[in-house]
């Protein structure tokens, strides 16, 4: 085990503040990890971590060492990349993104991306849960919707335009709403990636571009986008979701758009990563590639129509 490996282990422990979680993520015994950190401290002649029964914290020397490790490892990765043919990437890349984005946008395009980078090991997590990038060991996460305040770097990738839709069977039973007032006789399937993370109701843009929410009845709340769509197809109510990925259902008539003049606000899309002096080439290349995919997918979307009245 060389010093570079020990530096990577030290950074993971510093980020997760736990030897146990770090050992699990690194796939090694906790004792091996602890011994490697002790050897690094002995080599440097400094105590890097303050250990307690509850958590692990960086000492003053540890904070300095962490910053230098970040810079050295970034420089080493850039140096190694200089000699790869045609900018090929190698190593492991851990990414998390919403499940529908992974299924309908990323997975179909991945063969070409991985053919360009055959030595890259991509670990793709697809969930609508808001993962903890640092504690769960992700290099990059893709978020759709409003961002929480954090120390992560957020790179904008575009906006999903949303549509209001319901199944043909649901509309056959309840009728097609023509105005907001008509929604009093309808049900809405509520969605929240985190329970209670936003006000439940029918969202729409007013003529001045401001957001409004109309309270609506509903008997189901879900926290997964695939379940959300399945609920609509089962006739459980109206949903509001990105048009991307449901074009085939709209074309077949299984889903029907309603109230197009009262669309929900667009959903911002961001790639998040931890602050670095220099962004990893793997993360940089993946974000650039994903941004291109989104540009193509979003360019074909029709422009939204704003409401002119109630």
Residue 304 lies in a domain: no
Residue 127 lies in a domain: yes
Residue 308 lies in a domain: no
Residue 283 lies in a domain: yes
Number of domains in the chain: 3
The CATH number covering residue 291 comes to 3.40.190.10
Q: Are residues 193 and 278 in the same domain?
A: no
Residue 207 lies in a domain: yes
Q: Are residues 94 and 150 in the same domain?
A: yes
| pLDDT score for 276 | 62
Q: Are residues 151 and 272 in the same domain?
A: yes
Final residue belonging to a domain, choices 81, 98, 118? 81
Please give the residue range of the domain that contains residue 184. Answer: 162-265
Q: Are residues 147 and 220 in the same domain?
A: no
Final residue belonging to a domain, choices 81, 110, 131? 81
Q: Are residues 148 and 7 in the same domain?
A: no
Residue 56 lies in a domain: yes
Model pTM score: 0.75
The rounded average pLDDT for each run of 10 residues, N- to C-terminus, in the chain (310 residues) is 83 86 88 91 91 84 86 74 66 91 94 92 90 82 86 90 96 95 94 65 87 88 92 96 92 96 92 76 92 89 56
Q: Are residues 261 and 291 in the same domain?
A: no
Final residue belonging to a domain, choices 36, 65, 81? 81
Torsion of CA 44, 49, 50, 54, to 10 degrees: -160
Residue 310 lies in a domain: no
| pLDDT score for 68 | 84
Judge contact between 305 and 261, C-beta under 8 A. yes
């Amino acid at each position: 085990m060389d010093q570079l490996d020990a530096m990577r282990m030290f950074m993971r422990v510093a980020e997760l503040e736990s030897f146990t979680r770090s050992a699990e993520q690194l796939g090694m015994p906790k004792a091996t990890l602890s011994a490697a950190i002790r050897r690094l401290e002995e080599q440097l002649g400094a105590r890097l971590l303050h250990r307690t029964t509850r958590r692990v914290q960086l000492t003053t020397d540890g904070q300095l060492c962490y910053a230098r490790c970040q810079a050295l490892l970034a420089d080493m990765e850039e140096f190694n990349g200089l000699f790869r043919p045609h900018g090929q990437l190698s190593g492991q890349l851990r990414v998390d993104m919403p499940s529908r984005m992974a299924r309908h946008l990323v997975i179909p395009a991945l063969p070409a991306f991985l053919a360009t980078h055959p030595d890259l090991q991509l670990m793709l997590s697809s969930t609508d849960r808001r993962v903890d990038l640092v504690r769960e060991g992700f290099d990059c996460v893709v978020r759709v919707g409003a961002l929480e305040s954090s120390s992560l770097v957020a790179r904008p990738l575009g906006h999903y335009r949303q549509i209001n839709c319901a199944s043909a069977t649901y509309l056959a039973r309840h009728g097609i709403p023509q105005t907001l007032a008509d929604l009093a006789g309808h049900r809405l399937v509520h969605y929240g990636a985190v329970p209670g993370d936003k006000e439940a109701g029918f969202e729409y843009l007013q003529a001045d571009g401001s957001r409004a929410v109309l309270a609506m009845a509903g008997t189901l709340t879900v926290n997964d986008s695939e379940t959300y769509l399945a609920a609509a197809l089962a006739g459980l109510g109206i949903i509001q979701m990105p048009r991307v990925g449901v074009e085939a259902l709209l074309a077949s008539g299984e889903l029907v758009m309603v109230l197009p003049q009262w669309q929900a606000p667009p959903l911002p899309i961001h790639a998040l990563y931890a602050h670095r002096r220099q962004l990893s080439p793997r993360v940089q290349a993946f974000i650039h590639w994903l941004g291109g995919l989104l540009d193509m997918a979003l360019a074909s979307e029709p422009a939204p129509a704003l409401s002119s009245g109630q």
